[in-house]
Structure 1
Amino acid sequence: MKFLLAGMGSGGTPDTDNADFWASDEPGTPWVAIGDLSDRAVVTSTAKALTPEGIASKGLKVWPIGTLLFSMYASLGHTAELTIAAATNQAILALLPSDEVNQRFLCRWLEFLKPKLKEHASSNTQDNLNAEKVGNLFVLKPPLREQATIAAFLDREIGKIDALIAEQEKLIALLAEKRSATIAHAVTRGLNPDAPMKDSGVAWLGRVPAHWDVVRLGALFREVQDSGWGELPVLSVSIHHGVSDKELEEDEMERKVSRSEDRSKYKEVWPGDLTYNMMRAWQGGFGAVTVHGMVSPAYVVARPTKDFQTSHIEQLLRTPRAVSEMKRYSRGITDFRLRLYWDEFKVIQIALPPKMEQSEISAFIYSESAKVDALMTAAKKNIKLMQERRGALIAAVVTGQVDVRHT
Structure 2
Amino acid sequence: MKKYPEYKEVDIGWLKQIPKHWKLKRVKHSLEFFDNIRKPLSSDERGKMQSKKYDYYGASGIIDKVDDYLFEGEYILLGEDGANLISRSSPLAFKACGQFWVNNHAHILKPIKSNNLDYFVHLLESIDYTVSVTGSAQPKLTQEALGNQFIIEPPANEQIIISEFINKNISQIDSLIEKKTQMIELLKEERAALINQAVTKGINPDAEMKDSGIEWLGEVPKHWEVKKIKFVASLRSGNSITSDEIKEEGTYPVYGGNGLRGYTSDFTHDGHFVLIGRQGALCGNVNYAEGKFWASEHAVVATIINNSNVIWLGELLRSMNLNQYSISAAQPGLAVERIQNLSIPCPTIEEQNIIAKHLTVKSAQIDLSIGKIEKEISLIEEYRTALINEAVTGKIKVTESV
Fold in common (TM above 0.5): yes
In structure 2, the CA distance between the partners of 1:157 and 1:285, relative to structure 1 (3 Å rule), is closer
2: CA distance between counterparts of 1:29 and 1:157? Answer: 30
Alignment deviations for residues 252-300 of structure 1 (CA, whole Å, 9 cap, x no partner): xxxxxxx8x9x6xx8x223244443421596344444421333224443
Q: CA shift at 1:151, angstroms?
A: 1.1
* Correspondence for 1:40: none
Look up the equivalent residue of 2:72 and give its one-letter code: P
* Correspondence for 2:325: 329
Alignment deviations for residues 21-74 of structure 1 (CA, whole Å, 9 cap, x no partner): 65632355532235644xxxxxxxx632045xxx8xxxxxx1222111112234
* Correspondence for 2:175: 163
Query: How is 1:176-187 mapped onto 2 (pairs within 5 angstroms)?
Result: 176-187=188-199
Conserved 8 A contact 1:68-1:82 = yes
* Correspondence for 2:64: 47
1: CA distance between counterparts of 2:32 and 2:289? Answer: 60
Residue number among 13, 21, 26 corresponding to 2:40 in the alignment: 13
Q: CA shift at 1:224, angstroms?
A: 5.8
Which secondary structure state, in structure 1, belongs to the residue aligned with residue 160 of structure 2?
A: helix
Which secondary structure state, in structure 2, belongs to the residue aligned with residue 215 of structure 1?
A: strand
* Correspondence for 2:245: none
Which secondary structure state, in structure 2, belongs to the residue aligned with residue 194 of structure 1?
A: coil
1:108 aligns with 2:122: yes
Look up the equivalent residue of 1:188 and give its one-letter code: T
Q: CA shift at 1:238, angstroms?
A: 5.2
* Correspondence for 2:51: 26
2: CA distance between counterparts of 1:278 and 1:406? Answer: 58
* Correspondence for 1:58: none
Conserved 8 A contact 1:79-1:111 = yes
1:89 aligns with 2:115: no
Which secondary structure state, in structure 1, belongs to the residue aligned with residue 344 of structure 2?
A: strand
Residue number among 203, 218, 227 corresponding to 2:215 in the alignment: 203
Which secondary structure state, in structure 2, belongs to the residue aligned with residue 351 of structure 1?
A: strand
Query: How is 1:63-142 mapped onto 2 (pairs within 5 angstroms)?
Result: 63-74=71-82, 75-76=84-85, 78-113=92-127, 116-142=128-154
Q: CA shift at 1:189, angstroms?
A: 1.5
Which is worse superposed, 138-147 or 127-136?
A: 127-136
Higher strand share: 2
In structure 2, the CA distance between the partners of 1:119 and 1:358, relative to structure 1 (3 Å rule), is farther
Look up the equivalent residue of 2:325 and give its one-letter code: Y
Conserved 8 A contact 1:237-1:286 = no
Conserved 8 A contact 1:200-1:208 = yes
Residue number among 191, 197, 207 corresponding to 2:203 in the alignment: 191
After superposition, the CA RMSD in angstroms is 3.0
Which secondary structure state, in structure 1, belongs to the residue aligned with residue 114 of structure 2?
A: coil
Conserved 8 A contact 1:212-1:353 = yes
Conserved 8 A contact 1:4-1:100 = no
2: CA distance between counterparts of 1:15 and 1:160? Answer: 39
Which secondary structure state, in structure 1, belongs to the residue aligned with residue 108 of structure 2?
A: strand
Percent of aligned pairs with the same amino acid = 25
Q: CA shift at 1:217, angstroms?
A: 0.8
Query: How is 1:175-324 mapped onto 2 (pairs within 5 angstroms)?
Result: 175-223=187-235, 233-237=252-256, 239=258, 248-249=262-263, 268-280=268-280, 283-319=283-319, 322-323=320-321
Conserved 8 A contact 2:32-2:110 = yes
Q: CA shift at 1:14, angstroms?
A: 2.4
Query: How is 1:365-376 mapped onto 2 (pairs within 5 angstroms)?
Result: 365-376=359-370
Conserved 8 A contact 1:237-1:285 = no
Conserved 8 A contact 2:255-2:299 = no
Which secondary structure state, in structure 2, belongs to the residue aligned with residue 235 of structure 1?
A: strand
2: CA distance between counterparts of 1:304 and 1:281? Answer: 26
* Correspondence for 1:353: 347
Q: CA shift at 1:105, angstroms?
A: 0.9
1: CA distance between counterparts of 2:251 and 2:313? Answer: 25
Higher helix share: 1
Conserved 8 A contact 2:50-2:67 = no
Look up the equivalent residue of 1:102 and give its one-letter code: N
Conserved 8 A contact 1:274-1:286 = yes
TM-score (norm 1): 0.79
Conserved 8 A contact 2:191-2:363 = yes
Structure 1 unmatched ranges of 5 or more: 38-45, 56-61, 250-258
Look up the equivalent residue of 1:330 and give its one-letter code: S
Which is worse superposed, 202-211 or 274-283?
A: 274-283
TM-score (norm 2): 0.80
Alignment deviations for residues 188-241 of structure 1 (CA, whole Å, 9 cap, x no partner): 111111211222111222222221111001112335689799x972531454xx
Alignment deviations for residues 283-319 of structure 1 (CA, whole Å, 9 cap, x no partner): 3444444213332244433433322112211111111
1: CA distance between counterparts of 2:363 and 2:381? Answer: 26
Aligned residues: 360
Q: CA shift at 1:95, angstroms?
A: 1.2
In structure 2, the CA distance between the partners of 1:30 and 1:227, relative to structure 1 (3 Å rule), is closer
Conserved 8 A contact 2:119-2:159 = yes
